Structure 1
Amino acid sequence: MRFNYKKLVAAGAATLSVAAVLTACSGKKSNTSVNKDTKHGIALITDGNGVDDHSFNQAAWSGFKDYGKEHGLKQGKGGYQYFESSSAADFTPNLTQAAQAGYQTIFGVGYMLTDSVKAASKKYPKKNFVIIDSVVTGRKNVASVSFKSNEASYLGGLAAAYTTKSNKVGFIGGAKSSVLELFEAGFKQGVKDGAKALGKKITVYDQYIGNFTSTDKAKSIAQSMYTDGADIIYQAAGNAGNGVFTEAKTRNKATTAAKKVWVIGVDVDQSSLGNYTSKDGK
């Protein structure tokens, strides 16, 4: 259940595919279909965002739906389902609910679920668990899935280096962690190598939001970076990253297409988030 695709998108147009990952959903469930073959049943426990976050969770849920179609499963008990977490306090209850509802394999999407998945795997040793973007050791019923996000981000950095006109670019991360630092390091190295190849100096602004939910804070940080001259921002911030797109489009609508700023998307194809009409009608 692993797939890779990220896109460099203008706040308006796609330019480069880069990479991606699986995602997640909160205490809410949907549908009540009953599947006869429950041994293939899978459940998705999201981080603090829903399956419609246009990012990490949405990517995972898309994979779940493809899995269900491939195995003839319906959304609902014994098939495939999501449990949305609005905060960390929902992780354990959602894992418990999924296990008791009969789902055989349960996915925790995001490193923040690590401790909860580890505890649930001990409580339900006959169930299978998967932790995304983290590693759980010493548990035979837990599979750990991680990604070489630095490699995808490196390509994003190269694209930024070859695209920037101001020679100033930015990186905005969600909650700082070793996982997000991979994105940051890869991006910066790509920018560095691209700048070297082009024989120019490129400044990289970087800042973390502190979470994956605050779109307003992400918008504010993006506003500051664009004001300071950055014309491209790479955001790895989950649902909060939508705020970066909002700021970019606000700016682009007020100027000509030739002066547009860019956003590099993450986790899923975020091209649609960049659609806008410029001041000169393009």
Structure 2
Amino acid sequence: MRRITRIATVGVASAALALSATACGGKTSSSAGSDSDGDKAAIAYDIGGRGDQSFNDAAYAGLSKAQKDLGIEGKEAEPSDGESDADKVQRLTELARAGNNPVIGVGFAYAPAIKKVAPKFPDTTFGIIDDSSVTGKNIANMVFNEEQGSYLAGVAAAKVSKSKVVGFIGGVETPLIKKFEAGYVQGVKDTDPSVNVLPQYLTQPPNFDGFSKPDLGKAAAQGQLDKKADVVYSAAGLAGSGAIEAVSKAGKWNIGVDSDQYNQEGLANYKESILTSVTKDVSDAVFNLIKSVKDGKPQTGEIRYGLDKDGVALSTSNPAFTKMTDVIAAVDKAKQDIIDGKITVKTAP
């Protein structure tokens, strides 16, 4: 088994520029110096880094699986506070120069940097999760139908709510997180129109603290609890852990996101409150890309994961959830109706 190495780079400006700015300049290079033999792979984390109990940890699980099953050497690159697109360009360039193949950017914020770096390393496959805007012959876009999984969460929330008030907390108001809101609200309303949904975002671009500061999530959840919400769905990365804590202490239901948060070690004290989670199979997406490169048939273009391929799902780890037979039946029916095309889930509120 080969080791996983973690590295960090120093940022110099706001991470929010990753959405609005075009990629900044950086030293150019070619793939001529690459020493990749298909046995080295790297992931560059999104805001919050490894340990967020959610999105980044799911990506790490895929790298770890590749390390164990494929014998590859894995490298991790952590983000830093206040970093710019130029920092991401530098990070990806260094990872590619070191012979890592593939190099995977975890999150849409890496799109400008991958657009800049990928053409300079044509023999290296670059993966990006949650973005299809940047394309190229050596770019794999791993995207998910988050709205579909969120619809199922809405069905479950509407069925278990006793107060007829449920909450949604989005980390940062971006098109991606609005997909979570849209599916959730539609699922709630299709199941029980009398249930009131309270949507709330922690920050607005260019402020991305809503993905990284648990205190923001805790305060938002407390506000929703004060308005009688008894189910809260948080799509907020590391900030969501604060919401989970507040909801748990109030004795109400949480719905987690990205990873099966019931099984996340860092949330063990609150697990009984986590009814279910909307999972994205980021782990398999990362593993599959690494394996494709090692096999000499690298994936490229859009690789979409939806309910039909179990790319998004509703977790059933909490025994309390699986005992709710009427809720499970409603969720299963909604899932099949989406797969069969009887229900079209909105991607915007």
TM-score range, shorter chain: 0.7 to 0.9
1:204 maps to 197
Residue in 2 that maps onto 1:180: 177
**1:169 alignment counterpart:** 166
Q: Following TM superposition, by how much is the alpha carbon of 1:122 offset from its aligned partner in structure 2, in angstroms?
A: 2.1
Q: What is the aligned partner in structure 2 of residue 95 from structure 1? A: 92
Structure 2: distance between partners of 1:237 and 1:138: 27
Structure 1 equivalent of residue 260 of structure 2: 269
Unmatched 5+ residue regions in structure 2? 1-5, 10-34, 204-209, 273-349
Following the alignment from structure 1 to structure 2, what is the Cα–Cα distance between the partners of residues 153 and 277? 20
1:20-39 alignment runs, 5 A limit: 27=8, 38-39=37-38
Deviations 1:80-136 (A, max 9, x none): 111011244342222122112110210001111110111111232221101100014
The alignment partner of 1:169 has SS state of strand
Structure 1 spans left out of the alignment, 5+ residues: 1-24, 29-35, 74-78, 252-259
Cα–Cα, structure 1 residues 120 and 269, in superposed 2: closer, same or farther, change >3 Å? same
From the superposition, tell whether residues 232 and 277 of structure 1 become closer, same or farther in structure 2 (CA, over 3 Å). closer
Written as runs of structure 1 = structure 2, the 5 A alignment for 1:218-233 is 218-233=217-232
Alignment counterpart, residue 148 of structure 2, candidates 145, 148, 151:
151
Which consecutive segments of 4 or more residues in structure 1 shift more than 3 A? 274-278
Give the alignment's TM-score, normalised by structure 2. 0.62
Residue number among 116, 120, 125 corresponding to 2:117 in the alignment? 120
**Aligned residue among 58, 80, 90 for 2:74:** 80
RMSD between aligned alpha carbons? 2.1
Per the alignment, residue 186 of structure 2 pairs with: 189
Q: CA deviation at 1:37?
A: 7.4
Give deviations 1:261-282, integer Å, cap 9, x for gaps. 111001111115263599xxxx
Contact 2:115-2:135 at 8 Å conserved across structures: no
Alpha-carbon distance change, 221 to 137 in structure 1, aligned in 2, over 3 angstroms: closer
The letter of the residue matching 2:198 is: Y
Distance 1:276-1:58 versus aligned 2 partners, 3 A rule: closer
| SS at structure 2 position matched to 1:209 | strand
Deviation at 1:137, TM superposition (A): 4.2
**AA matched with 1:82:** E
Partner of 2:45: 46
In structure 2, what residue type is equivalent to 1:69? K
Do the aligned partners of 1:40 and 1:105 also contact (CA within 8 Å) in 2? no
Q: Give the match for residue 71 of structure 1.
A: 70
- Pick which of 158-167 and 93-102 moved more: 93-102
SS in structure 1 at match of 2:140:
strand
In structure 2, relative to structure 1, the CA distance for the partners of 1:107 and 1:233 (3 Å cut) is: same
**Residue of structure 1 equivalent to 2:234:** 235
Which deviates more, 175-184 or 265-274?
A: 265-274
Shift of 1:164: 0.4
Distance (whole Å) between structure 2 residues aligned to residue 48 and residue 93 of structure 1: 16
* Partner Cα separation in structure 1 for residue 130 and residue 70 of structure 2: 25
Query: Within 1, Cα distance between the matches of 2:134 and 2:236?
Result: 27
Letter in 2 for 1:96: T
Give the SS at the match of 1:140. Answer: coil
3-state SS, counterpart of residue 259 of structure 2? coil
Secondary structure in 2 matching 1:60 = helix
Q: Secondary structure at the match of 1:206?
A: strand
- Structure having greater relative contact order (Cα 8 Å, sep ≥ 6): 1
Q: Percent identity?
A: 37
Distance 1:189 1:40 in 2: 44
* Structure-2 change in CA distance of 1:203 and 1:269 (3 Å): same
Cα-to-partner distance string for 1:164-195 (whole Å, 9 max, x where unaligned): 01000000011111111111100001101110
1:223–1:48: structure 2 CA closer, same or farther, 3 Å change rule? same
Q: Match for 1:209: what amino acid?
A: L
